[in-house]
Amino acid sequence: MLGKSGVSVCLVLFLVASSLAEETSSQRPNVLFISIDDLNDWTGCLKGHPQALTPNLDRLAASGVLFTNAHAPGASCNPSRTAVFTGRSPHRSGLYDNRQKMREVLPDAEILPKTFSRHGYHSAGSGKLLHYVIDADSWNDYFPEAKSENPFPRTVYPKNRPVSLSRKGDWQYVESDWAALDVSDEAYGGDFLVARWVSEQLKQRHEKPFFLACGFYRPHEPWFVPKKYFEPFPLESIQLPPGYREDDLADLPPEGQRRGPNRYFAHIQEEKQWKQGIQGYLASIYFADTMLGHVLEALENGPNAKNTIVVLWSDHGWHLGEKQHWQKYTAWRACTRVPLIVRVPKNSPGLPSGTSPGTSDAPVNLLSLFPTLLDLCGLPAEAHHDGPSLIPLLSNPDGHWPHPSVTYLGQPKSFGLSTKRWRYIHYSQGGEELYDIETDPYEWENLAANEKYQVKLAEMRGLAPKSFVEKKLAEKGPEPNLTWHVSTRGNAPASTPSGPTFQIEFFNNSNLPIKLFVLDKRGQPSFAAIIHGGRKHVEKTQKGIVWQVTDGSGYQRGYFRAGNGPAKAIIPPTASAPQRRR
């Protein structure tokens, strides 16, 4: 038993320890963690396209360390973002593609904001950070409200869609479209509201250090932004992607030849919308950069300017015709290479000198962000993290870096691997590609079959991962059928959307075409598709969204209301029956 003096000593020690812990916590730097969705190297500082306008991103790059050879962990949103936020590589987690769900594959994984909260930080976020979910329990604060699990604030979209790119079939992503909107930034909403909310947090003094994440959705499709962001890019001046070459497929292995040409690019060319698509992408990048400027201005003019680490990254790149491809899902540089900027203030525990402006061409990966931030903030490392800390390069951008960077495709054993000068691509069926980036930055000449480069090919093979966890798929029963509601003109309810997105398969169980419309929160319809008799059609939706069905003449026949997850919507034969005339 302790006597009074012993109790007093313990109490004093406890108070001193508590005081030191609070002091240490208060001295830790804040973290501003900014993601920009689907942004490739079309920025001023990376020189990916000569017409790109990114003055704010370029200004940030000039003030920190710009990584010019940074790559995403995955070739699409979900595996890349899951890897960033868990610190676990796709080839070890088993999460390889967008159709998987993080919490079904990794039910117990602790993600970045939760780890920071556990160490005394206030973790807040806004916008798209994970793949169409918020993961509410991992945050102290979020906008929009975390429990909705819907990371998107209100956003103005055209009432009648598609606007520019017609829909050719069920395979086509419904958001592949672009247009200049006659609205102000504030009326448009979306990323403007994200920037405003994040800026408000940065203008305040906080009792605790903060981890503040900001997820900008543009330039993710659809490329609908206010028209003033289209104006710097007149259509007649639009330049094609520098990396495009029409005959860039002949030297690829069969897997590469199949993965390159896709229906999107062919459809866009047939519709004569290639330059319009490039214009929409450039406009969306410029819009996102302007929103970034609001956030950086709030930081620089607020009370947290001198003690906040800033990290900017994108989840993967984007093809706009290179390799005859549109979108993502490839192991070529157009998809794997991303902007990455890190700026560290002085007196950060893991880097007391802070960062000096500089550029690194070391092959780094976004997997390193989680362990790097823990190091910089003086927090203990997590043994399960798969990426090396970037601190050696933040202290010396030209320093030694022995690690390759790997981007994983949607199935095990398919990946792209980068070193400082070389790129190696391996497909699960055995096909290979090898490129010398110093002389061939657009990967036009595959050297894998060239006898002169067999030693280098063997060297790159030796750097590749040796084992791959199988893709983890959730055990699911059959998808439920949604209830068909017969309607007459005007009585279909308005949509009440909430939660993450998922897919509905519509089946037209008749021999006549029907028209499908989605209703907004005011009950106003927007055209979605024509579904011919006996055919199916897939749409992305959210819980509470109402899908209205009319016959070929436009007469309302019925509707479905989306439930909690993927489902089938069986349209009965009566939905396309001829309207009775009196």
Angstrom CA distances, 456 to 171, 408, 467, stand at 39, 21, 21
Angstrom CA distances, 236 to 49, 217, 224, 240, 276, stand at 16, 27, 20, 11, 10
Q: Which of 320, 316, 327, 323 is nearest to 240 (CA)?
A: 320
502 beta partners: 541
Torsional class of 231: left (φ above 0), alpha (ψ -120 to 50), beta (otherwise): alpha
Q: 265: which 2 tokens? A: 């690019």
Q: Which of 71, 122, 131, 385 is catalytic?
A: 131
CB 504 within 8 A of CB 561: no
**Distance from C-alpha of 228 to C-alpha of 206, rounded to nearest angstrom:** 36
CB 202 within 8 A of CB 148: no
33 beta partners: 213, 311
β 223-226/65-67 pair status: unpaired
DSSP 192-249: HHHHHHHHHHHTS--SS-EEEEEEE-TTSSSEEEEGGGTTTS-GGGPPPPTT--TT-S
Q: Is the peptide bond before 441 cis (omega within 30 degrees of 0)?
A: no
Q: Which of 77, 214, 335, 377 is catalytic?
A: 77
Instruction: Count other C-beta atoms under 10 Å from residue 465's C-beta.
Output: 16
- 131 assigned to active site: yes
Residue the block writes with tokens 């069926």: 429
365 beta partners: 71
CB 413 within 8 A of CB 468: yes
Q: Which residues are part of the catalytic machinery?
A: 77, 131
